[in-house]
């Protein structure tokens, strides 16, 4: 592979001049510029990003550590992050933590070893020493979706509180009184926030929320199935189940099907995170939709602001309830049959 030295030799100038042309420094003669560009073309020269990074201490790369790539919500997030980053001249390296703190640490470490310019994290847990150290240690960082309390890092997320209240209102309006929830890990902010919002909304409607109706999941499908089976085994099973993420909703659906029960006739189901497949499930699933793409883009903008020395602030966007048929009584208009992209 041709190096800058080869280009310099070919063009009959020094490497400094080549470098100046490449970084369009003002003081280069027109003659030198064309000679260099011709040589670049002739040799098919491409600057070595590794060498450049070593010298400039910038990699133009962002790290994205995500809780679970197989979760369509995070896939979409990752996609929008990459798009916005590309638009701003950055590449993205994605690390999939698979909801495992050890894997999360592994990815943070290798990303730091690679000297990424900034880190976007959706933390799986309350914060390992490594994560906390990184946040304090000056690496530009932004939390997206989930965050770690007590750490001075901007957070870009959706607030589902109002939407959860709308959901409870919706269920209440349909006559459901015994509502159960499949919660996410308490160590995650989204996990605790969603159940808290649910609790408050239940209280608001004067509905009891017995412990038996609070199932502990881990944001993976299998836990949704397990918890739902527990609900169905109760002497008095709930009339509605609210899964706090889409994968657990999928697991819940599995469990309900396995018993030969029907949604929503036998039991209602709703989910946090709206994904396009929910339109096509049997029945279409009522869900709380986050502005996923906007979240990803805002997170990148906040991070790049930080990297490039500007200040950046936290961003909170609203989530909204999308009513479909899984809680009973179809919505009046047929609009919900459309995909929600």
Q: Which residues bind DNA (CB under 7 A)?
A: 1, 3-5, 12-17, 19-20, 22-23, 26-29, 31-32, 47-48, 51-52, 54-57
Nearest alpha-carbon partner for 186 in 233, 155, 144, 149 = 149
Please pick, from the candidates 8, 20, 82, 299, the single residue that binds a copy of itself as defined by CB under 8 A: 82
CB nearer a copy of itself, residue 127 or residue 197: 127
Segment 45 to 64, residues that bind a copy of itself, using CB under 8 A: 46-51, 53-54, 59
CB nearer DNA, residue 5 or residue 262: 5
Tokens at residue 12, please?
């009959």
Please pick, from the candidates 5, 258, 316, 329, the single residue that binds a copy of itself as defined by CB under 8 A: 258
Contacting range for a copy of itself; rule: CB under 8 A; set: 118-126, 148-156, 173-181, 281-289: 281-289
Strands (E), 84-236: 91-96, 118-121, 141-144, 155-159, 179-183, 214-216
Measure Cα distances from 229 to 82, 143, 328 in Å. 38, 34, 21
Neighbours of 159 (CB within 10 A): 14
**315 contact choice in a copy of itself, DNA, none (CB below 5 to 8 Å, kind-dependent):** none
Please pick, from the candidates 41, 102, 266, 282, the single residue that binds a copy of itself as defined by CB under 8 A: 282
Residue the block writes with tokens 């339109």 = 279
In whole angstroms, give the CA distance from residue 181 to residue 176. 13
Please pick, from the candidates 5, 25, 109, 262, the single residue that binds a copy of itself as defined by CB under 8 A: 109
Residue the block writes with tokens 């590309």 = 86
CB nearer DNA, residue 89 or residue 260: 89
CB nearer a copy of itself, residue 166 or residue 254: 254
Binding of residue 337 to a copy of itself (CB under 8 A): yes
Please pick, from the candidates 17, 19, 67, 96, the single residue that binds a copy of itself as defined by CB under 8 A: 96
For residue 30, the minimal CB distance to DNA (Å) is 7
**89 contact choice in DNA, a copy of itself, none (CB below 5 to 8 Å, kind-dependent):** none
**91 contact choice in a copy of itself, DNA, none (CB below 5 to 8 Å, kind-dependent):** a copy of itself
| CB-based contact 72:277 (threshold 8 Å) | yes
3-class state of residue 141 by DSSP: strand
Nearest alpha-carbon partner for 315 in 85, 131, 81, 144 = 144
Burial 30-51 (b: 16+ CB within 10 A, else e): eebbebbeebbeebebeeeeee
In whole angstroms, give the CA distance from residue 117 to residue 290. 28
Q: Which residues bind a copy of itself (CB under 8 A)?
A: 46-51, 53-54, 59, 69-70, 72, 75-76, 78-79, 82, 86, 91, 93-94, 96, 106, 109-110, 112-115, 221, 250, 253-254, 257-258, 276-277, 279-283, 337, 339
């Amino acid at each position: 592979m041709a190096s800058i030295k080869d280009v310099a030799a070919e063009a009959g100038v020094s490497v400094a001049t080549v470098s100046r042309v490449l970084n369009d420094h003002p003081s280069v003669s027109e003659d030198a510029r064309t000679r260099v560009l011709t040589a670049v073309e002739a040799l098919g020269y491409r600057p070595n990003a590794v060498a450049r990074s070593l010298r400039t201490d910038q990699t133009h790369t962002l790290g994205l550590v995500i809780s679970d790539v197989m979760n369509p919500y995070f896939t979409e997030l990752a996609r929008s992050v990459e798009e916005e980053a590309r638009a701003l001249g950055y590449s993205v390296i994605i690390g999939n933590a698979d909801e495992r703190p050890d894997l999360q640490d592994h990815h943070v470490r290798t990303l730091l070893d690679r000297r990424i310019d900034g880190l976007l994290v959706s933390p799986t847990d309350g914060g390992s020493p490594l994560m906390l150290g990184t946040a304090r240690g000056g690496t530009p960082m932004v939390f997206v979706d989930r965050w770690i309390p007590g750490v001075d890092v901007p957070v870009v997320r959706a607030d589902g509180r109002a939407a959860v209240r709308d959901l409870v209102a919706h269920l209440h309006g349909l006559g459901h009184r015994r509502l159960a929830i499949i919660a996410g890990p308490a160590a995650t902010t989204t996990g605790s926030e969603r159940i808290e919002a649910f609790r408050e909304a239940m209280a608001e409607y004067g509905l009891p929320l017995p412990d038996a109706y609070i199932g502990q999941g881990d944001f993976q499908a299998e836990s949704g199935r397990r918890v739902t089976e527990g609900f169905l085994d109760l002497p008095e099973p709930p009339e509605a189940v609210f899964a706090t993420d889409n994968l657990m909703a999928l697991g819940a659906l599995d469990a309900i099907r396995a018993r030969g029960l029907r949604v929503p006739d036998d039991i209602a189901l709703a989910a946090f995170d709206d994904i396009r497949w929910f339109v096509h499930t049997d029945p279409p699933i009522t869900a709380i939709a986050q502005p996923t793409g906007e979240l990803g883009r805002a997170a990148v903008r906040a991070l790049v602001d930080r990297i490039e020395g500007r200040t950046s602030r936290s961003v909170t966007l609203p989530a909204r309830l999308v009513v479909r048929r899984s809680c009973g009584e179809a919505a009046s208009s047929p609009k919900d049959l459309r995909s929600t992209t």
